[in-house]
Amino acid sequence: MSQHPLESLWYRVSIWHIVLLPLSWLFAALAYLRRLLYRLGALKSVRLAVPVIVVGGISVGGSGKTPLVLWLARFLRDNGYRPGIVSRGYGGSASAPCEVTVDAPASEVGDEPVLLARRSACPVWVGHDRVAAARRLLAAQPQVDIIIADDGLQHHRLQRDVEIVVLDGERGIGNGFLLPAGPLRERVGRLRQVDAVVVNGTGGKPFMAGQNSHPMILEGSLFHHLADGRETAPAESFRGRVVHAVAGIGNPPRFFRHLEQLGLDITPHAFPDHHVYSLADLDFPGDAPILMTEKDAVKCEKLIPGRCWVLAVDAQLSPAFSAAILGKLHGRKTA
């Protein structure tokens, strides 16, 4: 199932780009104008009383931002910080700032924020206006001394101390064009302006090389039963039989390849990112197990949990990246 009507064009060049490129130039001009207005002060940005780390992307689609946010939350806690997380809450119905609890409906606050609330052990707030969401979080949780803004690179109203871009190491920047001719929200030159570029997975392209580029690997081989997370099963327990693999994320083939690398024989079922599941989506013939991502699991808990198993993954990053983040934050403290 397609993620976007134009996605098939984003990773190649075809005759259709003659039509789409003028629209990309217009998109680029509007994006540049918006950033310029913020730099000139015509549009007002806001600095919070605590440091802000923004994690985002320059392209449409999943790149691994959520695992990186979880890694940052754990890393910051281990280094004496008390982080909070703000997100837009994409896919949820809530527009005004609201707190995300571990049992919050994904239909209201979005699937990724629910996952962040469950795994980060941090307060999580969502809202279309991330400044308002961060202010509400800080008012409700005054112990928080640093904010992680999930998918906030283009939310220029919120000033930031550290900017991190996550790139999919397999898909890269696609054909290199901006929307709608390509997958890019900003020009590739933006990568030289951020503090760190995190490349998720192998297959990195030459443009990803540089002093601010850091590899990220997602690891995980233990499955949790959807009906009872205390029940676990190693990947070996699913070998020797065909299992269904479900993924409604930005890049479903990445999840499917991960399962195959664990030695599993899968029947893949790809859905659009942030897909709202129904019972029919998971009503596969027979009684074969259904394996899914954590992001999908928060929306499938009330469907057929008896057949479903969830794979948790954790990001692994280099000591150089850790040092770079702490160095930037130290600079904020001493400025």
pLDDT at 305: 86
Task: Give tens-digit pLDDT for 67-103.
Answer: 999 999 999 999 999 999 999 999 899 989 999 999 9
- Which pLDDT band, with edges at 50, 70 and 90, does 203 fall under? low
pLDDT at 66: 96
Whole-structure pTM value: 0.94
- Which pLDDT band, with edges at 50, 70 and 90, does 140 fall under? very high
Sequence spans of domains, the chain: 8-81+145-217+316-334, 221-312
Q: Is the pLDDT of residue 206 over 80?
A: no
Q: Is the pLDDT of residue 318 over 80?
A: yes
Q: Is the pLDDT of residue 150 over 80?
A: yes
- CB burial readout 152-183, b (16+ within 10 A) else e: bbebbebebbbbbbbbbbbbbbbbebbbbbbb
Residues 6+ apart with CB under 8 A from 109: 89, 92, 94, 98, 100, 126
Q: How far is CA 33 from CA 42, 189, 190, in A?
A: 11, 16, 15
pLDDT at 55: 98
Read off the tokens for 278. 């129904």
Q: Is the pLDDT of residue 61 over 70?
A: yes
Q: How far is CA 257 from CA 42, 52, 143, 244, 254, in A?
A: 47, 34, 41, 13, 5
pLDDT at 139: 98
Q: Is 137 exposed, middle or buried (0-12, 13-18, 19+ CB in 10 A)?
A: buried
Q: Is the pLDDT of residue 247 over 60?
A: yes
Q: Is 108 exposed, middle or buried (0-12, 13-18, 19+ CB in 10 A)?
A: middle
Instruction: Give the span between the Cα atoms of 53 and 270, in whole angstroms.
Output: 32
In this structure, how many other beta carbons lie within 10 angstroms of the beta carbon of residue 248?
Answer: 25
Q: Is the pLDDT of residue 306 over 80?
A: yes
- Which pLDDT band, with edges at 50, 70 and 90, does 212 fall under? confident
